[in-house]
Structures are given as structure tokens and as C-alpha cells.
Structure 1
């Protein structure tokens, strides 16, 4: 989701040119212990696929919670940052940004003690969710309208090694598989004049350490960490250095035994230090080729993710540890396609770059329509939207009416056809005053469209299971 992933891709492509040394002492690679020819390449390939989401997550955490000068910094660990606005074309750090729900973020450091997340009572008509995503990019829990309801409640988030009791007053405990974790809040905005109401909701989100919640003396602080810097130099640095660092905060899970044992054979893992610079040339070549092949496999799998339905691709990529079940390629695809995406039950995201005939969507050449037949709007318990992006950058586009999406809260102001169907006009120029309420402005270039179904219905018609459901997104027609 972040442009930081481009750096990671470059890391694979330029791995052979890496010369940057680590500050930590390297473990000498005994030539006799090194895997056989091509075996190290296969280990590096598997390790790159396994490690890509972990390193992507670290890069984002570093920019959002560690480096105050990153330009993307939100707040220090265990402090919430509310963003009382939705994304516009001016927001360029995140690709395919959601422009429906203002965000709040808190990066959690769970090493010393658990963190308590408190939410206020929220109008049941206003959708909100708090997605808990750990350093393995597992969505390990949800708080919100769908998952826990709309009443005021306190929840506790604990690290992988926490052994304490659950205090009175805590509604639910969520366990992260890593010591660092992200809580991402989405709060529904009904329209531009609703922003003050959203700010009031956000002001009610509270984050406190367990000791503060219990009004007790806090435990000793966790050790200070020297976080390895993430910047443009990443492309000249060994990818596995970052994986080495990140793995120490995530105890090995049962389904990781095999891949971690393989990585240990090339000096990668918590407490290890693969010093790429000091490896013999043939070993550098093996690792570089393995990373490059790993990236190729991820790219290919992203392009073919899910199922093609009327030109849209519908998939249910993200989930928890059980959802991936050790399928590291599936996890890497979910991260590269859109890190921190929701579970399908929370939100499902059909996307397309082509019309119903399979031709590339291009606002410089054609006008398009998207028609939902009468009674066949996206079936959701909360709300749905269709968002327009530039086809190349996947960013929101500047347009004369400052409209980046059409969503279900806008329906009362839109015009339906005589038969009760709803047509959206997808084009770069206004379709005329009589149709402008239904106009989704397009770029003067290629188009990327994402539909979002928040809290999709489970009874028919439903988009779930993703790609197999009874509701199918209608195709986009060239005018």
C-alpha cells in the first residue's frame, strides 16, 4: 500500500550490488556449512517471499512511529494519532487510499505491558472498525460495529509472551504474535458537513498502558531499541538485514519452523547477522537471484489474485494466521496488493483496470458507465463505495468537483433510471448538469477502480465467499 514497497522491489533487483556493512558483528559463514549450489538460491527465494510482508511492515512502522523527520510520522508508540479528514489527491504516501473513512493510528509496543484500547459509545448507524494487525501482517482481531457492537467498551491487547490475568472491566483480550503491532481505526464520514461529528468520535478513542488503566505503578520500561534506519539507501542494503532485525520481536510459531530453519542455514534469523558484503561472490549471486525470483513470483501472483468477474477481480486475501496457514506467498500477495487490507468479512474490495470486454479503461479515449440493476446495489450491512484512481500511480485524481468516489450515503442526491437502476457516469468531462450527481470524474489517462463493500452481507445475495458469492459486480460499459 505504501510507496515504500518500491524500495523493497529495488532491493531485490539490486541485491547483487549490495556493499553496505552492518553495525552488528557478522557471523562468519563457514563455506563447509553453506547450502549446496542453487540450494541457497532456493532458500533466499523462499525467505524473500516469507519476509516481504514483515519488512514492508517494519518500513511503515519506522516512518510512522520511529523517525520524527520521515514526513509520514504519526505519533510515538502507544499514542493515538487521529486524522480528522479523508484522503484527497494531495495525499501521496499511500497508494489506493480509502477516501471514505478518516483514519486513526496507534503503533503498539507490547514488550513491557499490555495496552488498553477504549472506545466510546458510537451511533450504530455510523460504521467504525479498529483493525489489529501485527508485525507478521496478521489481522488478529477487530473492534467495531460488526465485530463487537457500538457500545462503549475497554479492550486489552497483549504481546505474544503475556501471562497475566484479565482485569475486571476488560471486554475482550487480543493477542499479537509480535511485540510491535498496529491498531488502525476507520470511522465513517457521511459527508463533508459531518466532519465535526467524526472528530467527536475520534476524541473518544483512548489508549493507555494497563498499569495506567488499573492506576498501578508501571513496570520497568522495555530496553531502548536502536531501530535500523529506513530510507532511500534501503535499495543498497541487504533485505535480510531488516528481516534479521524484525524477527527478534516475533517468537517462532509452529508453522514457521521449516522456513526459519532454512533461513538459519544462510545466517538469517533473530540474533543472527548475514553480512552480505563479506560473502563470496558466488553466494552473493545465489541470494540475489533468489530474491529476484521471489519478487517475480509475488508480482505474478498479485496479477492473478482472486477471480475475474465481469472484468473485476474479486479476492479475499487478508486474514489472520490461521487464514494463511503457512502459505507465505498468499501472505506476500496480500501485503503487496494492499498492506493492512481488511478481512473479507469486514470489507471486500473488487478492483478493475478493464471494461466488461476486457479492454483497458482509459479516460483519455472513452466515456464509461457502470449500472447497478434495480434492487442489485452492493449488498452490505454498512455502506459501499466506488473510488477512482489514476491507473499508473493508483492515487486519487484532481478534478473540478473534488469528488473522488461515489458511495451509498450519496444515494439520496443521485438520480435513478426509470426502471429503478442506478447508472454512474465514469468520464473526464462532465456528463451534463442533469447527470452530474451521478458523475465519477476520471483521469485523462488510464483508470484504476476499486469498489469497497464494508461489512458485506453474508446471506444471499452476498459477495461472500469472495469470488464465489451470489452477488456479482456489474461490468463497466464503454459508451
Structure 2
């Protein structure tokens, strides 16, 4: 094998390794300077908010209609900062902290119910002290700069992102969520601290087709890989990624060829892996362990548990690279998980040309669940007369006597008798267990189906579609993989 061929393989490997960090830092810069979709730019150390729910005209794919997002791009270069989190005891919410390598290093919110001397889980809200790497030790040494009884989160890098999610249900709920968003704040501990600078700039002298490599080289120096990955990163010295000054301003032609070819090879391989699909059960594909690539950054709310780690580092790097394709980051399954389905019991693709029934055993969750409709293959929300893009445990749904929920999935409104008729359809292999049911509220029975009308109707796309079942704070049955949604039955 020629040396150039060896470097192509090494460059493809380096692309997969560095792609998450390059994506994350680009996103940090873009969010701070240009905004992200409906979330406007506000610079560093401030929150920007999504204030309106997504709909079918959203320019983004696979949007989550359950929550409104808030984002802060944080730079602790000037020193520690104080994060203010509003009280929300009766509403699901989470703040996820992402380092530049896409590791979630801390969670705050409903599941963690963090308590400090400045507030508690009983609705008072709280303040959190954010410190840069090594800053926790500095606080211990300087009583005047102490935490003041606040929870302290030591960030693994001076620059990182906070993505907050607040659950809402319907436009009437928006004012309450917006009021919570307005209470989120990041402010310097030292009021005289200098302005944050953000990530360092890459050299503009490097040509565009080597931009990725220059960004990776620049940002890897500013934000070193997690400790367990640093020896591995030295493999890429032959590519110039550890060099300073930049070897890409006037690159060796053979090195430049290897980098360009390796980038294409690495990108193609990532696309292949993304399209490979997941193992399914009754047509549903789950995502329990896609965020388990973090092995050494365990702040508040992050489980330091082998059950939530991908032990094979090569597989963990691939998982991280695949996660980088998601614009707002992913969270661990114990915070939120999802199951996807695009086929019926017989394996035929779901389509609006037919009517379907899902006899759903409510997922065991500690917060809530939703079932959302997306068109295929694009992933847009589906326009419909009700403006309904999902059904949820927060809705007033009709239940069967055993607690299961007959969901009618079709493009046209159901007939008044359809719900009671669907109850009599054979349950097939899904076999809900009444003893395992956990109804979220006092259910209406199918005897009220006529009055319920469209309560259990999830409007379908006219063409192909898929369903996503999201579970917030899922129970142990879900996390063990023991819960699976039932198959979807075609009715016509």
C-alpha cells in the first residue's frame, strides 16, 4: 500500500473522529452570530429562545412539537458565570450541557430535581455556578470567589452550549412557557469581567476544500479531546493536525490530496452508517444507546454507569459522529428516548391511502409521552384541519377498559363509530399486559367514544408517513428494553 493510500485511510478515520467537534463549534459560532432557525442570535453568555411552536411550514425536518427550546452559548474565558434556572415544578424541562465534543456533561431539570441552598425542587428555582476547567479548585482556594452555596458545575472546556427544553401543550400554554424562558439567565460572577471572545478563528489563508482540516486543527488545540481520547488523537500527527503553525496554508500536494480524498471517504462511510437502520421490534426501531459515547465527563444528572457507556471506543466514536448530524444535540435515553415506526404489522410502508389502528399500551414514564406524525421521506409535520401533529399522555384521550389507548391513524377524520369498532379488532402479537399499564390520568372508556369524536385521531399524511413515540423520563421497563410499542394494524 502506498503511503498516500495509508494517509487516505488515516484521514477518513480522522474525519469521523473530528466531525462532531467541528460541527459543534461551527454551531456554537453560528448560533451566537447568526442564530439557529427561529432562535435569533444574542452572542455569548445569554439565552435566546424559540417562542413559537413548529408547524408544517417549518424549514427544519423532524422537529419536536412537544417542547420549546432555549439556547445559550457560554464562554467562561472571562471567568465563572452564574446560571439562573426558573422554578418549574409542574412542567417537564431539562437543561442539557454540551461540550465542544458533543458530550453531555450535565443535566438540570425535572429528572434531576437539583436542590441547592439558593433554591430547591419545590418551585423556588435556583442558581448554579459555572466554572471553567480547574475553576472548582480555584474556588476552594479563594473564599471570596466561593460558590455561595450554589451548585457548582465545572465545564470541561471554556466554551460550551446549554440547550433547554420546556414542555408545552397547545398555543394556550405558550405564555406560561415564555415566562419561564424569560427567567433563564447567564451572567458573569465578576461584573467587571471582560467580554467573551468565543472560539478562536481559523486561518483564512487556507483554501476552502481544506477548511474542515484547518478548523479541526485550530479547535482541537483550543478544546483538546476528552482525556481518554488524547492518545488516540496523536495518531493524526502525520496529517498535520497537531502542527502549529498551520501546514494547510501552503500544503504539500500529496498531503492535500490525501486529506481531500479521506474527507470524501469518511463522509460517505458516515452516510452509509446513518442509512444502515436500527434493529426493529414489531416495526419499531428504538434509540436507547445512541448518546452513550461519553465515558469520562460525569457532571450532575449524567449517570456514571457502565450500562450507559459504549465500551468499544471505535463504536463510541461512530455514535458521536452520527449524533453530530442532529442540529440541537441528543440526550441520554434516561432523559428522553424515542421509537420510530414506518411499517405496519405486515411490513408494508405506512401510507395515507389506508386507515390504521395502534392499540397503545401507555409507555411507563415518569413525565409524559407523545406520538408524532411525520411525512416521508422528508420528515415534515403534517398539515391537518385540527392543527394536531401529535397525541400525548397530556391529552384527554379515550382508553380501553384495560388501560390501553386505541389510536386511529388516517388522513380523513374517523367516523363516530370508528373508535369502538377499532377496539374489537384483533390485538395480534402486541398483547398488552393490563398489570403493566400505567395510565397517566383518569381515562375515558370506549363507551364514551361517540362523544369523544376525534380525541384519539392522529391525522396522517396523504402519502407515506412514519410515527415517532417520544418518552420523557422513561421508566426502567423502557430503559431495560422490556417495553416496546405494539404493531400497527391496517384496518382496510
* TM beyond 0.5: yes
- Looking at structure 2, the residues matched to 47 and 427 of structure 1 have their Cα atoms a distance apart, in angstroms, of 46
- 1:159 counterpart residue number: 132
- 1:107 counterpart residue number: 73
Cα shift at 1:182 = 0.9
Alignment partner of 1:182: what SS? Answer: strand
- Counterpart of 2:174 (choices 195, 209, 234) is 195
- Counterpart of 2:471 (choices 431, 453, 460) is 453
- Looking at structure 2, the residues matched to 141 and 320 of structure 1 have their Cα atoms a distance apart, in angstroms, of 14
Which TM-score applies when normalising by structure 2? 0.78
- Looking at structure 1, the residues matched to 169 and 149 of structure 2 have their Cα atoms a distance apart, in angstroms, of 31
- 1:425 counterpart residue number: 408
Count of matched residue pairs: 423
Q: 1:259 to 1:291 in 2, by over 3 A?
A: farther
Cα shift at 1:318 = 1.3
- Counterpart of 2:162 (choices 183, 187, 190) is 183
> For the Cα contact (< 8 Å) 1:41–1:287, is it kept in 2?
yes
Q: What is the RMSD computed on CA atoms of the aligned residues?
A: 2.9
Q: 1:253 to 1:419 in 2, by over 3 A?
A: closer
Superposed, which structure 2 residues align to 1:14-413 within 5 Å? Answer: 36-67=3-34, 73-92=40-59, 94-123=60-89, 125-149=90-114, 150=121, 151=123, 152-162=125-135, 163-165=137-139, 167-212=146-191, 217-218=192-193, 220-221=194-195, 227=201, 236=209, 238-269=211-242, 271-275=244-248, 278-280=251-253, 282-304=254-276, 306-315=278-287, 316-319=289-292, 321-322=294-295, 323=309, 326=313, 327-336=316-325, 340-363=329-352, 365-372=353-360, 376-410=361-395, 412=396
> For the Cα contact (< 8 Å) 1:347–1:452, is it kept in 2?
yes
- Looking at structure 2, the residues matched to 180 and 262 of structure 1 have their Cα atoms a distance apart, in angstroms, of 25
Cα shift at 1:76 = 0.9
- Looking at structure 2, the residues matched to 319 and 131 of structure 1 have their Cα atoms a distance apart, in angstroms, of 14
Note the residue ranges of structure 2 that are not aligned, 5 or more in a row: 115-120, 141-145, 296-308, 417-449
- Looking at structure 1, the residues matched to 151 and 54 of structure 2 have their Cα atoms a distance apart, in angstroms, of 31
- Looking at structure 1, the residues matched to 486 and 18 of structure 2 have their Cα atoms a distance apart, in angstroms, of 37
Alignment partner of 2:474: what SS? Answer: coil
Alignment partner of 1:211: what SS? Answer: coil
Q: Which has the higher contact order (CA 8 A, sep 6+)?
A: 1
Is 1:477 matched up with 2:492? no
Q: 1:116 to 1:333 in 2, by over 3 A?
A: same
Cα shift at 1:302 = 2.8
Alignment partner of 2:138: what SS? Answer: coil
> For the Cα contact (< 8 Å) 1:302–1:337, is it kept in 2?
no
Alignment partner of 1:105: what SS? Answer: strand
The structure 1 segments of at least 4 consecutive aligned residues displaced by more than 6 Å after TM superposition are 68-71
Alignment partner of 2:399: what SS? Answer: coil
Which TM-score applies when normalising by structure 1? 0.80
- Looking at structure 2, the residues matched to 396 and 129 of structure 1 have their Cα atoms a distance apart, in angstroms, of 23
Cα shift at 1:430 = 1.8
Q: 1:60 to 1:253 in 2, by over 3 A?
A: closer
- Looking at structure 1, the residues matched to 102 and 177 of structure 2 have their Cα atoms a distance apart, in angstroms, of 27
Cα shift at 1:329 = 0.9
Cα shift at 1:404 = 1.1
